[in-house]
Structure 1
Amino acid sequence: MPAAGADEALERVCQEYFELGEVLLFAFENPQIQEWTDREKETESDKALTRLIERAHAEGVVDPGLPATWVSETMWALLYSAWQYARNHGAAKHASLDLCLRTFKKATAATGP
């Protein structure tokens, strides 16, 4: 099987992170949990996501004018929005995830040569 393109890999990452929504929302909503040290330290997962976004830049999938950190933060903001949309508006999880992925693709898409 051929290796997935960066666009497919980014979509899979978003899908996997989306599934962690309840756990992550619990952590975000309970400040006492967030008091661990080195919270702002870049993890191996952060580095892997940055490399994937850089690959997406190189493949022409993500606008190279958008820094990797911006793309990453945009992804997290949209995931949070999708979790909240499902929770607060009764939307089906698959519908929230679809909106998240569609918005992410459109917001970060390379516009051409």
Structure 2
Amino acid sequence: MTNPVSEHSGTRGRTRRAIIDAAATVLARDRAATLADIAKAAEVGRSTLHRYFHDRDDLLRALVEDSLHGLERAGTDAHPHEGPPLEAMRRMVASMVEVGERILLLFGDASLLETYGPADAAGDADCADVDDSLLDLIRRGQADGVFDPDVSDAWIQNTVWALVYTGCEMADKGLLPRHGVAQMVMRTLENGIAAPAAAAAPAARPALRVNAGQ
């Protein structure tokens, strides 16, 4: 019987990681990509890929699981419950952008989570963890008067996800430098859709305002 630890450590672990990362990159851009395309991107032979993943379903299941865990780690690494809310939001957005490829993969095709996500958690347990942390952060910011209390927390939450997704998608298409995505997301969140000077003029302190009616 194969030892699960040895299966994911050393050379085997690095090869498996290379295949999963290549699959994330390739499939985020082309859902119809073949196993041969993924093997080429991972710089391994097709036979090597099949030694790790028996078929496409096997690879996709592992990829979704790995991506969900990546989202969970992103939320945890941002430490959203620590420090001033605006600084915590900047960390949260930056951490989400770091796994932007996985966000594009998971949310670009709803059937992926439905088909290959964990059955006992409706496919999105780790996404729910990130969502809960983000929602708690938004509510904390609203209570502190930093985030607009007149906009629903759910609206801001969904706006953050939409902006991160859009920024990562634009970076993937070469329309926005990848290193500038988090900054652009935060600029949009902090200023709404108004020009920076117009948005900052009436504010006595930095505020995250999402203007739903504009």
Q: Using structure 1 for the length normalisation, give the TM-score.
A: 0.81
Instruction: Work out whether 1:46 is the aligned partner of 2:136.
Output: no
Percent identical pairs in the alignment equals: 27
SS of the residue corresponding to residue 173 of structure 2 reads: helix
Q: Specify the alignment match of 1:33 in structure 2.
A: 112
Q: Specify the alignment match of 2:151 in structure 1.
A: 66
Give the counterpart letter for 1:6 in structure 2: P
Q: Specify the alignment match of 1:98 in structure 2.
A: 183
Which is further off, 28-37 or 89-98? Answer: 28-37
Q: Specify the alignment match of 2:83 in structure 1.
A: 4
Distance in 2, Cα, partners of 1:10 & 1:20 = 16
Distance in 2, Cα, partners of 1:30 & 1:63 = 32
Shift of 1:83: 0.6
Gaps of 5+ in 1: none
Distance in 2, Cα, partners of 1:109 & 1:30 = 30
SS of the residue corresponding to residue 150 of structure 2 reads: coil
Q: Specify the alignment match of 1:89 in structure 2.
A: 174
Distance in 2, Cα, partners of 1:40 & 1:21 = 16
Which structure's CA Rg is the greater one?
Answer: 2
Query: Greater relative contact order (Cα 8 A, min sep 6): structure 1 or 2?
Result: 1
Gaps of 5+ in 2: 1-81, 193-207
Shift of 1:21: 0.6
**14 and 69 in structure 1: CA distance in 2 versus 1, 3 angstrom threshold:** same
Q: Using structure 2 for the length normalisation, give the TM-score.
A: 0.45
Q: Specify the alignment match of 2:101 in structure 1.
A: 22
**95 and 25 in structure 1: CA distance in 2 versus 1, 3 angstrom threshold:** same
**Cα-to-partner distance string for 1:46-82 (whole Å, 9 max, x where unaligned):** 2222111111001111100111111010001110111
Give the counterpart letter for 1:13 in structure 2: M
- Aligned pairs, how many? 108
Q: Specify the alignment match of 1:109 in structure 2.
A: 209
